[in-house]
């Protein structure tokens, strides 16, 4: 098995993670502008690590199903609640979010994820085509670690009502399980 020059083990993923959820029929917040008012009624399970060794999410994307979708914010929550009914402010935290407002069907929005401790290889000083050094964020891969026993839920801060009451968006996650 290969190791790095410092004898640290590389990140090992046993199984790929590909998951999706459809959201928009109910709000996941009690107050649309307060991310601390999470309620399970509008939260949909995206990734379940409650019975495995955890995982890592490399990317989360939102795809609008219809043109002119209601402007809203898609929220990503890390929780230890095993069902949406058990979600409350003491066991769930918002870890990522992205604003959506589609002008065309199929529009894709990627949610920015925080930097991980996994560096990007060969990203050092300025290249011949740039005059600035890479920032600390540029030097790291981004994603979300999902610890064993935790779940990722997603939801919108306001109900999607335009262009119709049945408007929904899909949220896709990809990564790997440990």
Residue 154: strand pairing partners? 44, 76
Listed range (9-18, 69-78, 84-93, 156-165) with the worst mean pLDDT: 9-18
Tokens standing for 157?
């801060």
Q: Which of 92, 80, 77, 91 is nearest to 149 (CA)?
A: 80
Residue with the bigger pLDDT between 125 and 50: it is: 50
Question: Tell me: the pLDDT tens digits for 58-110?
Answer: 999 999 888 888 889 999 999 999 999 999 989 999 999 999 877 777 888 89
Q: pTM for the whole thing?
A: 0.84
The DSSP secondary structure of 37-51, one letter per residue, reads: -B-GGG-EEEEE-TT
Q: Are 90 and 111 spatial neighbours (Cβ–Cβ below 8 Å)?
A: no
Q: How many residues does the chain have?
A: 178
Q: Which of 43, 21, 59, 45 is nearest to 173 (CA)?
A: 59
Q: What is the mean pLDDT of residues 155-161?
A: 92
Q: How far is the C-alpha of 24 from the C-alpha of 158, rounded, in Å?
A: 8
Look at residue 1 and give its three-state secondary structure: coil
Residue with tokens 């939801």: 155
């Amino acid at each position: 098995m290969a190791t790095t020059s410092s004898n640290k083990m590389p990140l090992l993923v046993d199984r790929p993670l590909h998951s999706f959820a459809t959201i928009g029929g109910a709000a996941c917040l009690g107050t649309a502008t307060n991310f601390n008012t999470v309620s399970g009624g509008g939260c949909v399970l995206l990734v379940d690590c409650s019975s495995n060794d955890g995982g890592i999410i490399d990317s989360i994307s939102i795809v609008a199903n219809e043109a002119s979708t209601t402007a809203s914010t898609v929220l990503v929550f890390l929780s230890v609640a095993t069902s949406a009914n058990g979600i409350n402010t003491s066991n769930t935290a918002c870890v990522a979010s992205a604003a959506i407002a589609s002008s065309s069907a199929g529009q894709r929005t990627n949610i920015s994820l925080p930097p991980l401790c996994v560096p990007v290889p060969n990203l050092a000083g300025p290249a011949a085509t740039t005059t600035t050094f890479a920032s600390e964020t540029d030097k790291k891969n981004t994603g979300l670690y999902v610890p064993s026993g935790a779940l990722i839920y997603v939801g919108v801060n306001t109900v999607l009502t335009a262009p119709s009451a049945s408007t929904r968006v899909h949220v896709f996650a990809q990564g790997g399980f440990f």
